[in-house]
Structure 1
Amino acid sequence: MGHFFKGVWILLIAVFIGLAGCTQQSSEKVESKNSGAQQTEQNEDEKAKEETEQADKKPEEIKPIVIDVIEPTSQEVVRSITPVEMGYGTDDVHYKSELEKLAGELARGTETAPGFDRRMIPDKLGPDGQVIKGSPLIILEEAELVENILKASEKGGTVELPLYVTASGYETNDAANLDEVVVGKYTTYFNPAVAGRTKNIELSAQAINNVILGVGDIFSFNTTVGPSDEAHGYQPAEEIVNKKVVMGIGGGICQTSSTLFNAVDGLGVGYVEKHHHSLSVGYVPKGRDATVSYGGKDFRFENTTGVPLLLKAIVGKGSLTVEIRTSKEYETQIKKGI
């Protein structure tokens, strides 16, 4: 009997031990299952977060290549261009054509903006013998600008305007002696009783009087004299327009330009621009005139004599004389025209 109860106890103990083992194993499985679920949920949360962050990120903008064209002295940007918008890389022929157009506008200006090219305003000899400074010749080299922009088109950056400045070609110390000898001279005549025409001749003659022309200088009548309008004291007088004699402000200044032409014509000067009237004029022989109009036709010549010159314009009672002078030292060095 004792053995029976002992066997029962052993059996009960074994059952309890088995149940405890099952419970622990089951618990471990649940925990493992829960842990796996939590890991999966965490991974999904992180993935969702990453997707949200990627969605929020904007694609990085690719900035186009830009070239800034700058003025070399002030470093001011005068024009910014985007090569691809002008055809670079897709139509290079058109692109170069657009650059040439841009260079022309920057050099010569447009209806709304002046260009960088500047004609020389020559120095003058003052009453006291001192030099009154004008302004130098400034040229924007258009072909060089186009070439420099083409070189910069791939990477962008800045391109300076290729501006070339040319001062008058004479030594300041020579100025005081340039009136020593006359090497060219011409006189024309007018009716002093015609007040408007007389005044206009006087004003234009005064503007070119004592002008110094250095070696290689290009003289522009219009640039030197300036506007022949009422604001500058010019008066109504007869002038020739389209083969008709009409009244106009500044009529008579062409006599000054024509007299100057005949005075310099015997010297070795090179003509840059010269025009005839549409009708013959009475103050010079046929074909010996040089008509001008501010903002239009001009009389321009280059001093190719090899020596500096001085212009003198003398108005008498009914006469205008233009003399070309230089120093005694330079007189024998002048290269005469053919």
Structure 2
Amino acid sequence: MGRFFKGVWILIFVGCIGVSGCAQQTSTKDETETKVVEPTEDKITKEEEEKEVQEPEVVEPIVVDILEPTTQEVVRSLTPIELGYGTEDAKYKAELEKWARELARGSETTPGLDSRMIPDKLGPDGQVIKGSPLIILEETELVDSIIKASEKGGTVELPLYVTASSYELNDAARLDEVVVGKYTTYFNAGVAGRTKNIELSAEAINNVILGVGDVFSFNTTVGPSDEAHGYQPAEEIVNKKLVMGIGGGICQTSSTLFNAIDVLGVGYVEKHHHSLSVGYVPKGRDATVSYGGKDFRFENTTGVPLLLKAIVSKGSLTVEVRTSKDYQAQIKKGI
């Protein structure tokens, strides 16, 4: 009986050892399988790096903004590379020069930024009636500035140069004191259209103030000689022929002005002769004009401010050039 119990205990002990061994093997196997399934941190990092390589950074193109200097408004934004910068530089520069020229001088539909001076005038009460200054867009400077900015981008201001009339406001009322130049021409007062045109153009230049260095433009000062401004049909010279045209007669005003101012030896910027001789001035002493075409322009190189007076009487037109007594002795006469 004792041997029986002893055998039973031996069997139980051996069984327990077997069960313990199986449990340990199973646990080790489960741990191994778990480690194989779990992804490593190194693998995730590599996938993220590959993803970043596949999505390159987007580079914005270089842009140059051209600004109006007073308002700081953008006149034009351009992308240099699209216009040939860096690949076709000569073409790029030519395109900029063309645009700058159109911007300055205008086109058929858009006025240019360049504008001639409209001179101030002396009012009947001695007060100055303001005109407008000379404005010039420096085209070459604009193109050079844009090209310089095209490498890194940025802004460029339009190089606009504004020149006001050069005289002292306090002197204006005294500029009519002495006559330093004068000329008179004659016309048939019975020809209504021509007479009216001479009167209107003479009034336009009457009491005009010319500062030192100012450039006077007859066409700019007088304006359009059309029906909308009161001008009438009259004979005028066109291609060596006398024809009827609106504004005929204004060339007598411009020619009379030329002869009056010429005694001071001013600098002439633009002057043209008629294709036929005219009867109101000696041959070669005329100055033909046509609004939008030929102009009569001169610069006040006398060194002192001047005042123009235009007086129309029955059948005559007189243009006088005046200045202050203080300035009379200082006038520089050209050769």
TM-score by length of 1: 0.91
* C-alpha deviation, 1:125, in angstroms: 0.9
CA contact 1:149–1:159 (8 Å) conserved in 2 = yes
* 1:236 lines up with 2:233 in the alignment: yes
Q: Distance in 2 between matches of 1:61 and 1:115?
A: 39
Residues 181, 331 of structure 1: 8 Å contact kept: yes
Give distance in 1, aligned partners of 2:151 and 2:176.
Answer: 57
- Secondary structure of the 2:264 match is coil
Gaps (5+ residues) in structure 1?
Answer: none
Matched with 1:151 is: 148
User: Alignment partner for residue 173 of structure 1, among 165, 170, 173?
Assistant: 170
Give matches, 1:1-338, under 5 Å.
Answer: 6=6, 9-10=9-10, 13-37=13-37, 39-40=38-39, 60-338=57-335
Deviation digits for residues 214-242 of structure 1 (CA, Å, limit 9, x no counterpart): 10000000110011111110011111122
Q: What displacement does 1:130 show? A: 1.2
How many aligned positions are there?
335
Q: Following the alignment from structure 1 to structure 2, what is the Cα–Cα distance between the partners of residues 101 and 210? A: 40
Distance 2:149 2:117 in 1: 32
What runs of 5+ residues in structure 2 fail to find an aligned partner? none
Is the Cα contact below 8 Å between 1:208 and 1:224 reproduced in 2?
A: yes
CA distance in 1, matches of 2:156, 2:169: 35
**For 1:304 and 1:109, how far apart are their aligned partners in 2?**
29
What is the CA distance between 1:73 and its match in structure 2?
1.0
Shift of 1:15: 4.3
Question: What residue identity is the alignment partner of 2:233?
Answer: P
- Aligned partner of residue 198 in structure 2, secondary structure: helix
Q: Report the alpha carbon displacement of residue 96 of structure 1 after superposing the two structures with TM.
A: 2.1
Q: TM-score, normalised by structure 2?
A: 0.92
Determine the C-alpha separation between the residues in 2 that align with 1:102 and 1:287: 40
Q: 1:32 offset after TM fit, Å? A: 2.8
Q: How far is the alpha carbon of 1:58 from its aligned partner?
A: 6.5
Q: 1:158 & 1:48 partners in 2: Cα distance?
A: 44
Across the aligned residues of Structure 1 and Structure 2, the Cα RMSD in angstroms comes to 2.6
Partner SS for 2:317: strand
**Percentage of matched positions with identical amino acids:** 78
One-letter amino acid matched to 1:283? Y
- Do the aligned partners of 1:268 and 1:303 also contact (CA within 8 Å) in 2? no
CA distance in 2, matches of 1:24, 1:120: 107
